[in-house]
Every structure is written in C-alpha cells, then in structure tokens.
Amino acid sequence: MVDERTKKLAKVLVEHSTKIKKGDVVVISGEVIAEPLIKEVYRLCLKKGAYPSVHVQLPGMGPLFYKNANNAQLKRFPEVTMYESKKADAFIGIWGTTNTREMSNIDPKKMAIRSRVVNPISKIRMQKRWVGTDYPTNALAIEAGMSLEEYEDFFYKACLVDYKKMEKKHAKLKKIIDKGSEVRIVGKNTDLKMSIKNMVASAACGDHNVPDGEVFTAPEKYSVEGHIEFSYPAIRAGNEVDGIYVEFKKGKAVVAKATKNEKFLKSMLGMDKGSSYLGELGIGTNYGITKYTKNLLFDEKIGGTVHLAFGMGYPECAPKNKKNLNDSALHWDIVKDMRQGGRLYVDGKLIQKNGKFLI
C-alpha cells in the first residue's frame, strides 16, 4: 500500500513542479530505495499522456565507478546521456540513500574531473523543466537524529505545503532584492558585502526543489568582500566539512579554513577557475523547517538562514549581463544561521534581524 503522502508528493512533482503534459518526454531518475515514489511519478506521467523513461541507480554504484574507472573513463564524455538530455522535455530526480557516507573516501580530485566533464549536460538540463526531491530513508533519518517515522513526518510536512501561498509571501522580498544594489550579511565572525546590481531574484516555490522556500539571486562575480563563518557542516559526496571560515577579496575566496576536512574544502574550491567565487546568495524562508538535518535540500530552506553557493550561478539571475555571473562545474551551497544575532541589509536598510524579516 502506497503512503497517501507519497501520492501527494508525486502529484506536486508532476503537476506543480514540472507541469507534465501530453507528449512530454520525461526522464525520471533515482535510487532503488525510492521505488514507491518513482513508480507513482511514472504512473502519473503516463496518465498525463507523457513518455517517461526511468533510470534507477543501485546502492554503491558511485564508489564502484570512482574506485575502478581509469583516467580515460573518468574523462570520457557520456554522449548517450547528452543525446537524451537534449531530447527530453523534463527531468524529475528522486534522491534517496541507504548510506549517506558511501562517497566519503573517494579521491576529491577524481570527482572534480568528472564534474567538469559532465558539466555541459547539467547546463542543458537546467534549461529544461526539472525538479529534484528526496525520499525518506533510515539513513537520512539517522543523520537528522530521528526515527524513520519521525523523519517521515518531518519530511512530508516540509514538502507538502501550499506553494501558491508561498509565492505570494515571496513577492515582497523578491521586489526588494530586484531593486537592490548591495547586500551585507553581519553575524558571528561575519561581515560580508556583495553587489547584486542588475541581478534578478528568483522566488523558489517548489518549481525546482521540493521542499522549497527561498529567494535567491547571484552576486556580481568580483564584488564580494569580507569574511564569513558558516554555522553548519557542509556535506558534499559524503564528505562532511565543519567549522568553515572564508575570506573574500575582489570576489575570490583567498582564505578558506575548516576545523574538519579542510583539505576537501580546498580541493572543491580549486576545482576550476570559477569554483572559488560565489554564484548564489540564497535567503531561506521556510519557517516550517526549523531543524538542521545534514540534508542541504532542507537545511538551505530553513527560515532565518542564508546560504552562499561556491561556483556556478544560475543564468536566470543575470538575464542582461552574463559576464557578471560566475561559471563553474561546482555548485556548493553552505548555510549561515542568522537567528541568533544575525543582520541582513539591502542598500544599508536592515531587512532581517535575528532571522525575522522587518519588511
């Protein structure tokens, strides 16, 4: 018996996020543990008259590839995947894992090489309709410090919200960001400024991520100045980097420290020419998500937080001048909690204090 909440989530992904219609070619991808949600999404796509195909990954496939692939295999471009990406109309990713740390002992240099190789595919897909979500698993529940039942309740409560209502709430903040020229973030061991002049804000309301709840834009690439201490560990490919402190000069991270896994942090920021610059400033607005869970899909949406992404900026944030937008094979969001002593300014005006909006 499929959980009714799973059915509701599938409907959000198919009807709200990707707006699947008759004739659409849809690529559904995910891990085998997410079978109930994958099947329900597949069923709904068929009901819509679309042409869905499914790619399911088995546990351990990632480590298997990186531990056994030679240099030629790492650098080989997946032509078949690119062909599919060009032909498809929409992509629905359903993540789920039985082991959140299975990639933690993989050489980050190998991951960086592969990221650069497949980056053109990511760019093609981002121009289409796409959405990504998770599926509640024991592994994710353990990371969040919950039982599976508790995590399922937390998960579905965060995902199954009124996204139309969220759009209305985001409108005012988006307007302020769109008109703004400079953002300043102040908090514990943090004072960071960046220009957002001529950039456009995007109000994220379940169109690409579920759960959702953020307004994001892109800083001008060379404008970021100051320092920031991030509040939570940043996790990428099973590697947990904690105690992150970064200093910026003319947009570039010139100092990057961590109390845990600093080598991995520096490896990611050295991935390519754009990986040590910022591509995104996001402001979390989902006050229904209050707990840090070591799952970025949820953590970057926590109401009263901001997050900065090293690497690629989203093209929609710079429709008039792409030269001001950072480009990279990396896109790595790291979260700063503003709920205790944090202040967020736009053009010198305080718009948020201690995580609460003043607008």
Does pLDDT of 131 surpass 90? yes
pLDDT band per the 50, 70, 90 thresholds, residue 325: very high
pLDDT at 324 over 90: no
Of 79-83, 89-93, 287-291, which gets the smallest average pLDDT? 287-291
- Is the model's pLDDT at 323 over the cut of 90? no
| pTM: predicted TM-score of the whole model, two decimal places | 0.90
Domains and CATH numbers, the chain: 4-159 (3.40.1830.10), 163-357 (no CATH)
Orientation angle between helical segments 61-68 and 108-126, nearest 10 degrees: 120
Q: Is the pLDDT of residue 85 over 90?
A: yes
Task: Answer whether residue 148 shows pLDDT above 90.
Answer: yes
Instruction: Name the pLDDT band for 56 (thresholds 50, 70, 90).
Output: very high
pLDDT band at residue 238 under the 50/70/90 scheme: confident
Q: What is the chain's mean pLDDT, rounded? A: 96
Work out the average pLDDT over 132-142.
97
Q: Please give the pLDDT value at position 172.
A: 94
* pLDDT classification of 297: cutoffs 50, 70, 90: very high
Instruction: Indicate if the pLDDT at residue 185 is higher than 80.
Output: yes
pLDDT beyond 80 at 191: yes
pLDDT number for residue 321: 74
The whole-number pLDDT of residue 50 equals 98
